Amino acid sequence: MIVSLFSATLDWLAHGLWGLSWWQIVLYTLLTTHVTIASVTIFLHRHQAHRALDLHLLPSHFFRFWLWIGTGQVTREWVAIHRKHHARCETSEDPHSPVAHGIKKVLWQGTELYRAESKNQETLNRFGAGCPNDWLERNLYTRFSWQGVGLMMILDLALFGAIGLTVWAVQMVWIPLMAAGVINGVGHWWGYRNAETPDASTNIVPWGVVIGGEELHNNHHTYPTAAKFSVKSYEFDIGWSYIRFLELCGLAWVKAVPPQLVINKTKLDCDGETLEALIAFRFVALKKLQELTKQLWADSVPRKKLEVFEVRLKQLWTDSSASKDQLVRDLRQWCVDAEKSEIPGLQVFAFLLPGYTLKKHSR
Ligand SMILES: [Zn+2]
Ligand SMILES: [Zn+2]
């Protein structure tokens, strides 16, 4: 009896309940970490922090449960810290800016930065509004936030035996490494930019698969309330594919996507529509202006003169006291002055600007 119990225990330690081969275990680990990444990007980030989409109770409860066993993350803490990151971006108050805290610190000690901020009650009160506060949240997910990952460890051990501990360890370091380190660190430090946002955000690679589309971080800072992170035809956001699938199943409702720009070359005068499009595409327009002036650079043009034009352009979306009519008049005057400037890049930009038109509700 004792011998057969001993051999059964040995057998379980070696193979677990499922008795999977090594590659099946690797596949399982990758799949489960990907589900965790999808839960973070769809539920915590796009749905809870930015309200870019609504979710049906079914996926919503699934994501909450999965995040509990997969990360031990408390929704309100994550949401508050992330909203503060957007509101105080790259300042000393930004909880995880590589510009303010240094890339090494954010990359390797991102979790510590996160944990310290999660204890800041003021952050939670100010930025944590509107998160789940039902019975489950109060009595299980928030109250026993770390017991969930313990449950995952028991599950891994039961399914795979001793190797289950390794599976669990990989599952547990995945989010701190990928989200706290890679997105918060690399996504504000290295990569390309489609738009000249006031922060240092970057798109790490154009294909957002490994971190669920979060790779396209500069696009996200350009359109923070959009549920879709890809904007160029060659970019791919796997998180958006999942959201579209949920939407087709009647389990999600997208509230906003990035606007689309159309340049109507027959339109030669700026009006309210131009202003609306320019404001929607302000960071893309700034990038375009900088590219054009760099490409068509005239050595004799002093940098200061260009900066004056940039500052005047930025006033069109930062001056909250001016009326819309006044802003349209300012925009027209900006174009007239730019055309007279004798700076080729600026002249090309001023020629294209009146044609800026917003194509709404397109995906
Ligand atoms: Zn960011
Ligand atoms: Zn965000």
Please write the tens of the pLDDT for every residue from 184-206: 889 999 999 999 999 999 999 99
**Of the candidate ranges 89-93, 205-209, 303-307, 349-353, the one whose mean pLDDT is the lowest:** 303-307
300 pLDDT tier (thresholds 50, 70, 90): low
User: What's the 91 CA to ligand 2 centre distance in angstroms?
Assistant: 16
User: What's the 50 CA to ligand 2 centre distance in angstroms?
Assistant: 7
> Are 60 and 133 members of one domain?
yes
Query: Given a cut of 80, is residue 14 above it in pLDDT?
Result: no
Domain that holds residue 180: 2-254
pLDDT above 70 covers a percentage of the chain that reads 97
Please write the tens of the pLDDT for every residue from 324-342: 999 999 999 999 999 998 8
Query: What is the C-alpha radius of gyration for the chain, rounded to an integer number of angstroms?
Result: 25
Ligand nearest to the CA of 82: 2
> Are 59 and 199 members of one domain?
yes
> Are 13 and 105 members of one domain?
yes
> Are 265 and 164 members of one domain?
no
Q: Cα–Cα distances in Å, from 271 out to 331, 332, 346?
A: 8, 8, 19
pLDDT, averaged across the chain: 92
User: What's the 226 CA to ligand 2 centre distance in angstroms?
Assistant: 10
> Are 37 and 162 members of one domain?
yes
User: What's the 224 CA to ligand 1 centre distance in angstroms?
Assistant: 10
User: What's the 224 CA to ligand 2 centre distance in angstroms?
Assistant: 6
Q: Exposure string (b/e) for 190-214, b if CB count within 10 Å is 16 or more?
A: ebebbbbbebbbbbbbbebebbbbb
Long-range contacts of 21-26 (CB under 8 A, 24+ apart): 25/160, 25/163, 25/167
User: What's the 12 CA to ligand 1 centre distance in angstroms?
Assistant: 44
Beta strand pairing call for 252-254 and 53-55: antiparallel
Structural domain tally of the chain? 2
User: What's the 44 CA to ligand 2 centre distance in angstroms?
Assistant: 10
Query: Given a cut of 70, is residue 236 above it in pLDDT?
Result: yes
User: What's the 134 CA to ligand 2 centre distance in angstroms?
Assistant: 24
Instruction: With 0.85 as the threshold, say if the pTM is over it.
Output: yes
User: What's the 3 CA to ligand 2 centre distance in angstroms?
Assistant: 57
> Are 210 and 314 members of one domain?
no
Query: Given a cut of 60, is residue 72 above it in pLDDT?
Result: yes
Q: Please state the separation of Cα 266 from the chain's center in Å.
A: 36
Q: Which of these three, 254, 286, 304, is where a domain ends?
A: 254
Please give the Cα distance from 99 to 89 (Å, whole number). Answer: 9
User: What's the 230 CA to ligand 2 centre distance in angstroms?
Assistant: 14
> Are 26 and 175 members of one domain?
yes
> Are 116 and 232 members of one domain?
yes
Q: Cα–Cα distances in Å, from 86 out to 3, 79, 202, 220?
A: 61, 11, 14, 10
Query: Given a cut of 80, is residue 255 above it in pLDDT?
Result: yes
Query: Given a cut of 90, is residue 87 above it in pLDDT?
Result: yes
User: What's the 129 CA to ligand 2 centre distance in angstroms?
Assistant: 15
Q: Which of these three, 200, 226, 254, is where a domain ends?
A: 254
> Are 162 and 65 members of one domain?
yes
Please give the Cα distance from 166 to 157 (Å, whole number). Answer: 9
How long a stretch of residues is the chain?
363
301 pLDDT tier (thresholds 50, 70, 90): low
Query: Given a cut of 60, is residue 56 above it in pLDDT?
Result: yes
Q: Which of these three, 220, 254, 288, is where a domain ends?
A: 254
96: its two tokens: 């995880």
Would you state the pLDDT for residue 288?
92
- Nearest in space to 273 (alpha carbons), one of 281, 319, 194, 322: 281
> Are 245 and 130 members of one domain?
yes
> Are 76 and 218 members of one domain?
yes
Please write the tens of the pLDDT for every residue from 214-235: 999 999 999 999 999 999 999 9
159: its two tokens: 């399914």
Please write the tens of the pLDDT for every residue from 92-133: 999 999 989 888 888 888 888 888 999 999 999 999 999 999
Ligand nearest to the CA of 198: 1
> Are 191 and 278 members of one domain?
no
User: What's the 187 CA to ligand 1 centre distance in angstroms?
Assistant: 7
